[in-house]
Structure 1
């Protein structure tokens, strides 16, 4: 509070006389003062609450000088120990597991891995769901630890790079189109069957087709004809070649020969048909009705 006093003189006597005092009050009083104290108190409460929440978050999230809880920041990147749950997409250049444990990725719906180019377009994708696994890309390559190609597939072809492809299913393998392979072999003590239920089965090779059975028989069944075609010759190499069910031809003349000692000869028609004819002093194939 400031007090001011003024002194004045009269014109008649010249004696100074005092003038009425003026008092000015400086400061905040009344309801303004109470509001100011209340606002300061509210700020102190908010500050204490924020400080307590910060300390609680630091304690719950396990913040330390190396990172946050199981999440540690290292020179090579970020290391995460234990199980973690990601609610949103995760972007990373490389994800590795520990040397003594495997890497597991679990999801209640599906797990999707996407690769994008510089423009943000998806160039490769792998999605594993509860009922199916689906991959998308220009080509698929599976390599061994020695960087040897084991399997390669693109829009034109699929290549199996291993020395042996084994099909263990009881029904074998089903191919809708042609198959190119240098060798088809069954497992030991098991039979090998090549079958076409409704169409035809064709085997072709520029230098020959070799069919070999070391301990068993080679059997070929067909509802129509079995055609063996070769441009340079056909070789049947065996101790004995048997055609047990050849038909017996009939002579065109009325006086049929009884043959020599019940012997027969194998006749071949121009069409390739084989049949038996009773042997005589001369060949009886030309005078037979089978051709």
Structure 2
């Protein structure tokens, strides 16, 4: 146990203390104290600078309770006012403009929109470049307001769902292969031309080809042959007058015998020629024209 010793001092008693008694000061003094104050002052300056920068960033970026600047956070998504520039890819589910304005996508090079599947592969792409608009997809469709397909393109066919297809180019329409259509007609008061400059022109139909010009004439011009063929039927020329001015003509016969009358003769190969009319047929007299 520790033994405690106590000294009782009565009045009038004087006790001498040692002269070399050591005195210890408690606290931070000297250069340590100055460094501590300097460090605290530096922390205070940094705190004020950070606070000022934070307030400056909030004012510059236009932070508000509803969003940041022109970007507003809404219950159904984000709303962006004015013009915005995106430096990296933008992934969104839907982009819509305001009801009173249009949507503009602008780029100095091109605008590309990709559709990807769950594996990240591109399944559809729309690329608008400075010289061409490119669509990469299995099928491309354009619909009307009521949902009617107006234009459809896939790997096998092109379908136009409008009531009328109008080509306004001065050279008309150029088709490298066959064309199937129930009706071909020009604009009112305009001529219709079907032309093949270097090859033949063929019109086929299982139940017939109907060519009609109610207010004009029909011309067929060719360098070689014009073939009118009916596999099961009759070729009929129904008109008040039929002119065949370039038919081969047999000999005139005796003067005054035909009185200016001729008959049209047909060769076994279908060639036509004229022969002087007589009491009976004279076609056999000029059958050499069939050779």
Q: TM-score normalised to the size of structure 1? A: 0.87
Partner of 2:80: 80
Partner of 1:142: 142
Partner of 2:273: 275
Give secondary structure in 1 for the equivalent of 2:243.
Answer: coil
Q: Distance in 2 between matches of 1:173 and 1:92?
A: 41
After superposition, give the CA deviation of every residue in 1:59-101 in whole Å (9 maximum; x if it has no partner).
Answer: 1221111111221111111111111121222111111111111
Partner of 2:289: 290
Give secondary structure in 2 for the equivalent of 1:135.
Answer: strand
**Change in 2 beyond 3 A, CA 1:24/1:217:** same
Does the 8 Å CA contact 1:141/1:149 hold for their aligned counterparts? yes
Q: How many residues align?
A: 276
How far off its partner does 1:17 sit?
8.0
How far off its partner does 1:228 sit?
1.0
Partner of 1:264: 262
Structure with larger RCO (C-alpha < 8 A, sep 6+): 1
Range that drifts further, 242-251 or 60-69: 242-251
Range that drifts further, 38-47 or 73-82: 38-47
How is 1:190-205 mapped onto 2 (pairs within 5 angstroms)? 190-205=190-205
Q: Distance in 2 between matches of 1:147 and 1:268?
A: 59
Range that drifts further, 58-67 or 212-221: 58-67
Partner of 1:163: 163
**Change in 2 beyond 3 A, CA 1:89/1:154:** same
Range that drifts further, 21-30 or 138-147: 21-30
Does the 8 Å CA contact 1:257/1:278 hold for their aligned counterparts? no
Q: TM-score normalised to the size of structure 2? A: 0.87
Gaps of 5+ in 1: 1-6, 8-14
Partner of 2:245: 244
Q: Aligned Cα RMSD in Å?
A: 2.4
Does the 8 Å CA contact 1:250/1:290 hold for their aligned counterparts? no
Partner of 1:47: 47
Give secondary structure in 1 for the equivalent of 2:274.
Answer: strand
Partner of 2:12: none
**Change in 2 beyond 3 A, CA 1:230/1:32:** farther
Gaps of 5+ in 2: 1-5, 7-14
